[in-house]
Structure formats: structure tokens, C-alpha cells
Structure 1
Amino acid sequence: MNLHALRLFHTVATSGSVTRASELLNISQPAITAQIKKFEKELQLLLLKPLGRGVALTDAGEELALLAKRLFAVEQQIEQFAHNYRSGTTGSIRLAATYLPAHFLIPTWIAKFKQQYEQVEMMINTTNSSGALNQLLNVEVDIAIYGGIAETYPDTILTEELFQDELWFVVAPNHKYANQQVSLSEMMKEPFVMREEGSSTRERLLSLCRTYHSAVPAISLQFNGLHEAITAVIAGYGANFVSSLVVREYVNRGELSRVYVEGIQLKNTIAICTRKNEPLSASTNNLIQMIRQNPYNKPFL
């Protein structure tokens, strides 16, 4: 079927005359008339009939005009979809995040992003550091937001550091080391409440012990969630080694206290990870750009 001729017919049907269609399309009236006559022969249907000095739709023309209206409405929807997808106002983003950014950064980022890009679907997986990178490597997600050690990633991963926060030792306010300065060896004699194996802060603590040839602490309680681990320490058991983003408010309210370990000042890297040499969708690029502009809430750092 000649879609160009159908478009000419559609314009005549919606505008009401060949003359008006000629003006809208900037095509001569004889050319339009000739194209529609060829189209009628192709379909073996009479679509237009004379009416005074103009034309009117036949019964078949009325029916075809409705179908053409639907067809070209869908065409407009496709064009709008393509425009929106190119600009990032529609689409989907699959994101993996470690616990720290997932609970303390991403909710604010996503709220700001959705205010501007409401039609973009967001799928967020919260996992530990190794899980986030594995999902990215296995093409299960588009980007990973990583909070952990500044390390060497696989060659296929591109990493962009957003900022760094401090790692703190914390205990309950009535603990003997609360607000005290102690040695690393003394600190490591305390029982620790930590997250599961694969957690970046847990691995960082063990790495710290290896670096300073210190005994490894007893991890007496282990939780899959950081909130549960923090709650146990607040309740008075053990110590935790954790990002300041997580516990700063607890410390400010007096529910937790810091322990200052001699010679230890460690930072935690918050980074965006993507796959190298792989183009990102416009919606994903829009999210990354928004995160760059609003990486953290300044009062908390």
C-alpha cells in the first residue's frame, strides 16, 4: 500500500478539501488529486466524490479515514516515544547498590530524579559490594553505586568517585572506650557486631588488621542488615566499624559514641561503576548527571 498516498488522502479527509490539503502539504492540487486517484485504483475503492466545487468522502472513504487517523496517531506516538527515549524522559534504569548508598543516598537521589523524569522506571537491587559488581559484570544492571574500599576493579569496569566519607569505630555510650583514644590492638580485643561476609566495611576491618599486623577481632554477632548490627551496639553489646554516613546522627543524639583509634583515619569511597566502552541510555546518563550535581547532603559530611 502506498503510505504517501494514504497520507495525502488523510490530510484531505481531515482538512475537508484538496485546496486546504495543498496548502498544508505545500503540494499542488493536481498532484494530490492524481496521487489519490492512483491510490483508489490500487485499493479498487472510490474514496472521494465531487460535491459542488469540492469533494466529499464516500462511505468507503469515511471508513478508511478512521483507520488512517488511527494509523497516523500511532505514528505520532512512535515519534514521541523515540524523542522521549533519546532525551531520557522515558525508559528504564537497572541499578545495583551496596547498603550504604542504597539506604542513605539513593532515596534522595531517586526522589529528585523522579520529580523530573516521572516516566522512567527504576529497578534497584540492594546487595553487598561483591554482589553489586557481579551484577554489573553479568549485565544484570546498567550501573552500580558502590560504597567501599577504593580498589582496582576489573578492566571492563569504569569507576567514577563521587566523594569519600570517614569510617568510624563506635560503641554504646556506657562502653569503657566511649569517646576514648585507644590502640588498635586494644580495640581488636572487643567483640564486634558486623554484617555478613562480602560486606565492604567488614573486609576493610580485616584488611586493617592485616596491614597493622594486629589480631583479628572476634565477630560475635553477624547480621545481614546494617540496621540490626547498629541496634545491637546501641543496646550495649560490642563495637562496630562503619561509615560515618550511617552513624553520625546516632552519635549526635548520644545513642552511640566514637572510639578514636591511634593512627587510624580511614576513608570510604562512594563511586558510580559502569561497564567500559558500553553506551548508556539517555535516562541512565540523566541519572548519573543528577548524582554528580547532588552527590551528598552537605550537612551530614
Structure 2
Amino acid sequence: MLNLHALRLFHTIASVGSVTKASEWLNISQPAITAQIKKFEKELGLPLFKPQGRGIALTDAGEELAVLAKRLFAVEHQIEQFASNYASGTVGSIRMAATYLPANFLIPAWIAKFKQKYNQVEMNITTTNSSGALQQLLDVEVDIAIFGGIAERYPETIQTEELFEDELWFVVAPGHRYANRQVTLSEMMNEPFVMREEGSSTRERLFSLCRTHNASVPTISLQFNGLHEAITAVIAGYGANFVSSLVVREYVERGELARVYVEGIHLKNTIAICTRRNEPLPASAMNLVRMIRSLPTPPPGHT
């Protein structure tokens, strides 16, 4: 097996040009260095140095070995740098699942800010519903999951950290008879709804709300996989939607949508980071979480 310690001594002598300088550089006595180099030459069966004036010079074999040693220790430095960067989170990868709300309205700005500092970190983001995001986290397919509307129940193995809350609004087209009016929950539930698919946390919140208040569940007349499509259908004049204010506030301000105020209903929507409990995050993912925590909390209804 190659004596790497002796090779390093040889590399240092070859780099600085003398045993004396190598001794000072390494803080090892000259006799000790000389003895180890002679032993190394014997192990290799090759003369590495030859006398030259008052000093020494590399033999032909020593010249070639010096090139190889330089490459080897350059790679060693790269490995050390990589390990340091990986441990600090400046390189690596982050696997993230996100529900549609944060994926479309929060994460793009977060990632842009994160990448300004950690450009070499690879990002792999999957957009799915709450059930899908939770399952990917449980199956160790992702490191973190960002929820817009955390599930009411989740396994004990999942740790949840709430970032902030926004409001949940009922919205309709501006020409709808309930636009900007106050109605009862029963009246609201008589309207056809345009919603996301089953597994959406907001959809589940709406059904849970009906159960809590003993109201009939709404008819989901149109169902889409994305938020944008559902909102566009309501803007076009069909049905109602129950949705985060983060998503629709600008539409309401522009007059493309209108709120419906349902008596006694003031619900909040939680934006949260979920991780696997008692399992340390990769340094790169931890840096992202710290950055998200440091960002200002949006006011209710604002992006």
C-alpha cells in the first residue's frame, strides 16, 4: 500500500525545492524527513532525488512522480473543499414537494432569493396536492414539504412548523347575485362550486366546514387539477370558489372577482413547512428553511 504520508513529504520537497524549506514548512526536523524519504525510495524501488551542488534535484522518476503527486493532492483539496461546501450547504441538492398555493404564489420568490446566495444547490420541486406532498415526505422521496393549508391530522413522524396564516375567501364573478353580499352558509352551499381535485386541503376544509355547521355539502360542478384553471372558470362567470386570499386578492382588487361574506365564517389558512421528525435535514435544505423563516410574513390577503 502506498505510503501517503511519505508521498506528501516528497510532494512538499518537490514543490518548495529543498529539504530545509520543507522542514520549516512542515515543522518536521530535516533528519526525520530525510530518513522517511530514503525509506520511501526503498519501498518504491526508485531513486527520487539526486545531489546537485549543495542541494538536491529530482531524478527523472522523481519528476514524473512529482506530476502525479501534484494531481493527487489537488484532487484531495477538491474533495476537502467539496466536503466543506456540502456540510455548509453551499452545494448539494434539495428535494421539495409543495402544494399548489405555495408552489405558485410563494416558492418562486423564495427560490430566486435562495439561489442568489446558493447558486450551486440543485432544486427539485414537485407540485402536488396535500395528500401527495405528505405521502412523498413519508416515503422519503423529498426532504421537505411546503403546505398551503396543513392537513388537520398528520402522522406523529411528521414535524410541522407554521410560517404564517392567510384568510380563506368565498369568491364569485362580479356579476353574481352574491357578489359583495353577506349570505348564510346554507345559501352559499346551494351554489355550484369550481374546485381542485380530491386531496386538496382547501377542498377538505370546505367539506369540514359544512359538517361542523350541519350544512349540506356543496356540489362540485367543475373540478380542475390546478388553481389557475378553477379561478379562470369563476372569473368567466360560472360558480363559486373557496380559496386562499393569497391567490385571489389581486383579482378582487382589479374587480375580476368579488368576495361573498358568509355569516359567522372567518377561516384561516396555514402555510407550513413539514419535515420528518427526528431526522436531520441536509445542510442545503436547512439553509433554505432558515431563509424562509427570516422572510417577512405577508399581511393577510397579500402575496
Q: Aligning the two structures, in what range does the TM-score lie when normalised by the shorter sequence? A: over 0.9
* Counterpart secondary structure, 2:278: coil
Contact (CA 8 Å) 2:130, 2:150: kept in 1 or not?
Answer: no
Query: Deviations for 1:21-40, whole angstroms, at most 9, x for unmatched residues?
Result: 11111111121111111100
Letter in 2 for 1:142: D
Q: Corresponding residue for 1:124?
A: 125
Query: Deviations for 1:74-104, whole angstroms, at most 9, x for unmatched residues?
Result: 1111111111111111111110110001111
Shift of 1:151: 1.9
Is 1:214 matched up with 2:215?
Answer: yes
Is 1:155 matched up with 2:152?
Answer: no
Give TM-score scaled by structure 1 length: 0.98
Q: Corresponding residue for 1:19?
A: 20
CA distance in 1 between partners of 2:81 and 2:175 (Å): 62
Shift of 1:295: 5.4
Q: Corresponding residue for 2:103?
A: 102
Change (3 A) 1:35 1:105: same
Shift of 1:216: 1.4
Q: What aligned pairs does 1:153-192 form with structure 2 within 5 A after superposition?
A: 153-192=154-193
Q: Corresponding residue for 2:288?
A: 287
Query: Deviations for 1:172-197, whole angstroms, at most 9, x for unmatched residues?
Result: 11111110011111111111111111
Letter in 1 for 2:235: I
Q: Corresponding residue for 1:54?
A: 55
What is the aligned-residue identity percentage?
81
CA distance in 1 between partners of 2:219 and 2:244 (Å): 20
CA distance in 1 between partners of 2:277 and 2:151 (Å): 18
Letter in 2 for 1:152: R
CA distance in 1 between partners of 2:64 and 2:181 (Å): 86
Contact (CA 8 Å) 2:193, 2:218: kept in 1 or not?
Answer: yes
Letter in 2 for 1:235: A
Contact (CA 8 Å) 1:171, 1:256: kept in 2 or not?
Answer: yes
Q: Corresponding residue for 1:205?
A: 206
Letter in 1 for 2:198: E
Structure 1 spans left out of the alignment, 5+ residues: none
CA distance in 1 between partners of 2:128 and 2:297 (Å): 20
Letter in 2 for 1:9: F
Give TM-score scaled by structure 2 length: 0.97
Letter in 1 for 2:194: V
Letter in 2 for 1:99: Y
CA distance in 2 between partners of 1:152 and 1:222 (Å): 24
CA distance in 2 between partners of 1:133 and 1:140 (Å): 10
Q: Corresponding residue for 1:265?
A: 266
CA distance in 1 between partners of 2:196 and 2:39 (Å): 75
Shift of 1:152: 2.8
Deviating above 6 A after TM superposition, structure 1's stretches of 4 or more consecutive aligned residues are: none
Query: Deviations for 1:159-211, whole angstroms, at most 9, x for unmatched residues?
Result: 11111100000011111111001111111111111111111111111111111
Is 1:5 matched up with 2:41?
Answer: no
Structure 2 spans left out of the alignment, 5+ residues: none
CA distance in 1 between partners of 2:174 and 2:83 (Å): 58
* Counterpart secondary structure, 2:229: helix
CA distance in 2 between partners of 1:296 and 1:115 (Å): 20
Contact (CA 8 Å) 2:129, 2:201: kept in 1 or not?
Answer: yes
